[in-house]
Amino acid sequence: MRKLALIAVLFALIAPQISHAVTPDEILKDPVLEARARTLSRELRCMVCQNQSIDDSEAPLAKDLRILVRERLTNGDSDKQVLDFLVSRYGEFVLLKPPLQPQTLLLWAVSPAVLLIGIVALFMMARRRKAAIPPPAPLSDAEQRKLATLVDR
């Protein structure tokens, strides 16, 4: 019974990672084109969910985008042409990993800057806290005698 429960828990943890929102009616018959479509779908952001790729999202707009990607690939577009078409239509926000360009520099710089500011702030707080703690007072003669008796035991 325990093994069955463990297997169920493991499956519950793994299942979200192996599930995709792509429905069978969307899948292309050509496995090479389908593999390209899946790769592109993992690079595109769902405009509704925003933190999911269109490959993982079940939103109707994500399904429309998956179908559009597959139509463009079937018509002979290259991967770059498909991405360029979607970026021209929706902006660079549609890309899960936007390229480093002058207009996206702030987007790329904010996370490391915030991390660096946090590390500096923690370091400064630790130094202040260490400086604020006074050194311990020396032991009195009575305390030293009591300590000596305790250590000798």
**Closest-CA residue to 63 (of 24, 104, 15, 5):** 24
Residue 95 is given by DSSP the state B
Residue 20 is predicted with a pLDDT of: 59
- Fold for 2-98, please state it: Helicase, Ruva Protein; domain 3 (1.10.8)
User: What values do phi and psi take at 43, rounded to 5?
Assistant: -90, -10
Residue 18 in this model has a pLDDT that exceeds 50: no
Q: Which two tokens stand for residue 79?
A: 């991967």
Per domain, the residue ranges of the chain are 2-98, 104-152
pLDDT digits (tens, 9 = 90+) for 80-117: 999 999 999 988 888 888 777 787 777 778 889 999 99
Helices (H) and strands (E) in the chain, counts: 6, 0
pLDDT band at 78 (very low <50, low <70, confident <90, very high): very high
Residue 120 in this model has a pLDDT that exceeds 70: yes
- Report the half-sphere exposure of 28 (CA within 13 A, side-chain side): 19
CB atoms within 10 A of CB 104: 13
